[in-house]
Chain A
């Protein structure tokens, strides 16, 4: 009796010993900042000396700040417009990369994945170089075909297009791999049965593959939604948020407010709203994936 008691005691100590390093660092650099962030949002903190309680002033200011609404709206629009491409392009790649009609699939997979390895900043720079207004490859080709060179960086729609192009380019390989996992999990017998019953490949795709891929598709939708909403480093390689603030998305809005304009308190209030948005998405993810698990 006493023996098993000390045994458990030792295991308790061992458990906390094993988790302590991770737990301490997680407290210091995640949980404490989480609490501080909410705390700062009720102050006029400037990141240096000034730190006074100001109640809800930051939130009141935020709800009247046109630039905040623009940044948030711009981020949502950017996310919604890009979402279909983030799903369908990788799905198409995954279908090709698992098709029995494609030879040398391993190499194809490797090549498509390579852009995923680049840092977001370098992704931005690489694509920006092709779209640079003077001496860029794309403008060169446009002129060769008799068109007029486009001001990719000066027009907000064109700039957003370049950013979107870079973002899709860099993530397609990653989501392709996720889709490939889903596709290889589909029971071969089902596909064979369909083909014996005379279904053509289009029918098989729309009536068997696509419905069975629903959980994978949902995962890709969620991951790309989160990653689109927090797009930041890539934009620094393309437009740095310009022209004006026209490609400044919400994370950059927070960081610029905080570290450039030294409005830590105000930036924390905006962060808090962003956290709630991300929290809701994560909650939906948790709900849906749990329901999927019960089936």
Chain B
């Protein structure tokens, strides 16, 4: 009898604790998401409502004028440029990182210098690219890629993270797969492309998502390399709403909302790979 009572006490205690902790957790979620909600609702307010007290969460007079304004200012073009940068850059990253990671894994016992080559790539993680922008821009200009979308694609497609991700993956696959393909007379490249590559879609998807997000959000190189307005990416177009005399809020709010839609959609659809990617390699550029 006494035992039953403490049991019941425990359950009530556990239920209260569950309720309390869940409320705290969702309170935090609300705080984390609120700035974005505020941004989105604000972007549908007209100038008269944006710059007048009192403020309301929901727009009193719902309008899409902030959106039509940025699209009239060439935003379709900037979205197109960003899509091109993100998609082409990601495809190149996937091809060259999978090849490189594969070679570093498969020939590691056979060729003694494999790990030395890997060590060269690891140098890339020691020094942040931000400290190298000045000579990078010089190299880009020297190659004739200044003010050219390829000038912001080629310098960033090699990522040590990507190479690392594929190297880890191919090291976990038994070499006997490769041996078997070789005995069947498959060339080295065919062994990679038609035997080994199909075995690993997970690192491919993980890197594709992260690479797309990095390229879509790239800032410094596009800012320094793309001087012609028709080559601007969406981030640079947004940056240009910040002028010497202040911020063009009514344009920058809607432009910012547009810029976050693709990555949020991808995240919601392919969330699992995000979490796996961070857990596997601490993925961050």
Residues of A within 8 A of B (CB): 8, 10-12, 14-15, 17-19, 21-23, 25-26, 28-34, 36-37, 40, 47, 93, 96-97, 99, 101-105, 107-115, 117-122, 125-130, 132, 134-135, 137, 140, 143-144, 169, 172-174, 177-178, 180-181, 219, 223, 226-227, 230, 232-233, 236-237, 240, 251, 254-255, 258-259, 264, 267-268, 271, 274-275, 278-279, 282-283
Given known A-B contacts A25-B158, A177-B278, A223-B282, A33 and B260 have beta carbons under 8 A apart: no
Decide if B136 touches A33 in the complex (CB within 8 Å): yes
Give the contacts of B194-217 with A (CB-CB under 8 A): 213, 216-217
Decide if B188 touches A14 in the complex (CB within 8 Å): yes
Q: Is B29 an interface residue (CB 8 A)?
A: yes
Closest 5 A/B residue pairs (Cβ): A119-B217, A18-B103, A14-B188, A36-B135, A33-B135
**In the complex, what distance in Å separates the CA atom of A140 from the CA atom of B50?**
12
Whose C-beta in chain B lies nearest to the C-beta of A29? B155
A-B CB contact pairs (8 Å), 21 listed: A10-B188, A15-B103, A18-B99, A19-B100, A23-B117, A28-B143, A30-B123, A30-B132, A34-B127, A96-B21, A111-B32, A114-B267, A119-B217, A121-B219, A121-B238, A126-B35, A129-B253, A140-B54, A223-B282, A237-B242, A259-B134
Given known A-B contacts A36-B135, A117-B260, A119-B219, A282 and B36 have beta carbons under 8 A apart: no
Among the 9-residue stretches B4-12, B64-72, B106-114, the one with 4 or more Cβ atoms under 8 Å from chain A is: B106-114
**In the complex, what distance in Å separates the CA atom of A143 from the CA atom of B53?**
11
**In the complex, what distance in Å separates the CA atom of A223 from the CA atom of B281?**
13
Given known A-B contacts A126-B36, A129-B253, A112 and B29 have beta carbons under 8 A apart: yes
Contact partner, A101, options B22, B33, B52, Cβ 8 Å: B22
Least CB distance, A52 to chain B, in whole angstroms: 16
Decide if B29 touches A108 in the complex (CB within 8 Å): yes
Decide if B132 touches A37 in the complex (CB within 8 Å): yes
Contact partner, B51, options A135, A174, A237, Cβ 8 Å: A135
Chain B contact-residue range equals 35 or more
Chain A residues with CB under 8 A of B124 = 26, 30
Residue among A97, A119, A267 with max Cβ neighbours from chain B (10 Å): A119
Chain B residues with CB under 8 A of A14 = 103, 107, 188-189
Residue among A28, A121, A130, A227 with max Cβ neighbours from chain B (10 Å): A121
Least CB distance, B249 to chain A, in whole angstroms: 7
**In the complex, what distance in Å separates the CA atom of A128 from the CA atom of B124?**
33
Decide if B134 touches A135 in the complex (CB within 8 Å): no
**In the complex, what distance in Å separates the CA atom of A129 from the CA atom of B154?**
34
Chain B residues with CB under 8 A of A275 = 127, 131
Residues of B within 8 A of A (CB): 14, 17-18, 20-22, 24-26, 28-29, 32-33, 35-36, 38-39, 42, 50-55, 95-97, 99-100, 102-104, 107, 110-111, 114, 117, 120-121, 123-140, 143, 154-158, 163, 188-189, 192, 213, 216-217, 219-220, 224, 235, 238-239, 242, 247, 249, 252-253, 256, 259-260, 263-264, 267-268, 271, 274-275, 278-279, 282, 284
**In the complex, what distance in Å separates the CA atom of A236 from the CA atom of B253?**
15
Decide if A96 touches B24 in the complex (CB within 8 Å): yes
**In the complex, what distance in Å separates the CA atom of A119 from the CA atom of B267?**
14
Contact partner, B99, options A19, A93, A107, A126, Cβ 8 Å: A19
Chain B residues with CB under 8 A of A21 = 95-96, 99-100
Chain A residues with CB under 8 A of B155 = 25, 28-29
Decide if A22 touches B138 in the complex (CB within 8 Å): no
**In the complex, what distance in Å separates the CA atom of A245 from the CA atom of B69?**
33
Contact partner, A126, options B107, B129, B256, Cβ 8 Å: B256
Chain A contact residues: helix, strand, loop or mixed: helix
Whose C-beta in chain A lies nearest to the C-beta of B275? A177
Decide if A102 touches B154 in the complex (CB within 8 Å): no
Whose C-beta in chain B lies nearest to the C-beta of A27? B120
Contact partner, B111, options A12, A40, A109, A134, Cβ 8 Å: A12
Contact partner, B35, options A26, A32, A127, A236, Cβ 8 Å: A127
Chain B residues with CB under 8 A of A34 = 127, 132, 135
**In the complex, what distance in Å separates the CA atom of A29 from the CA atom of B143?**
11
Whose C-beta in chain B lies nearest to the C-beta of A271? B131
Chain B residues with CB under 8 A of A32 = 135, 139
Decide if B53 touches A140 in the complex (CB within 8 Å): yes
Chain B residues with CB under 8 A of A107 = 29
Contact partner, A120, options B96, B158, B217, Cβ 8 Å: B217
Chain B residues with CB under 8 A of A254 = 131, 133-134
Chain B residues with CB under 8 A of A274 = 131
Decide if A279 touches B39 in the complex (CB within 8 Å): no
Least CB distance, B171 to chain A, in whole angstroms: 15
Least CB distance, A147 to chain B, in whole angstroms: 14
Contact partner, A97, options B25, B121, B158, Cβ 8 Å: B25
Contact partner, B279, options A28, A93, A177, A258, Cβ 8 Å: A177
